Amino acid sequence: MYVIVVYDVDVKRVAKVHRFLRTHLHWRQNSVFEGEVSRAQLYEIKRTLEGLIDGEDSVLIYELPNDSFNLHVIGVDKSPVGDVI
């Protein structure tokens, strides 16, 4: 499956969340990561994030069946996924 992860966390925890997500997914923009994961990896990502975040923090994980979406970039494409792989 393919996931798009968007986070809105307190500045105190941003670096930790960013560092963790970088180990599993491709950084796309500011607080957006995406990538192909297994069900086990998705479970692990959710479990770890639950431990990292606190207070009013919020993380959304859009789980898509595959990467058959179109991505429209307006303005700067900060981190083209294709270049990262």
Q: List binding-site positions.
A: 8
Q: Cα separations (Å) of 82 from 6, 9, 50, 58, 77?
A: 19, 27, 29, 27, 11
Listed residue (51, 48, 45, 61) closest to 8, CA to CA? 61
What is the distance of C-alpha 76 from the center of its chain? 19
Residue number, 18 or 57, with CB nearest to a second copy: 57
Within 21-40, the residues that bind a second copy by CB under 8 A are 28-32
Q: Examine residue 63 and tell whether it contacts a second copy (CB under 8 A).
A: yes
Rule CB under 8 A: choose which of 76, 82, 83, 85 binds a second copy: 76
Q: Examine residue 50 and tell whether it contacts a second copy (CB under 8 A).
A: yes
How is residue 71 written in tokens?
A: 């991505």
Residues lying near a second copy in the complex (CB under 8 A): 4, 6, 8-9, 28-32, 42, 46, 49-50, 53, 56-65, 68-78
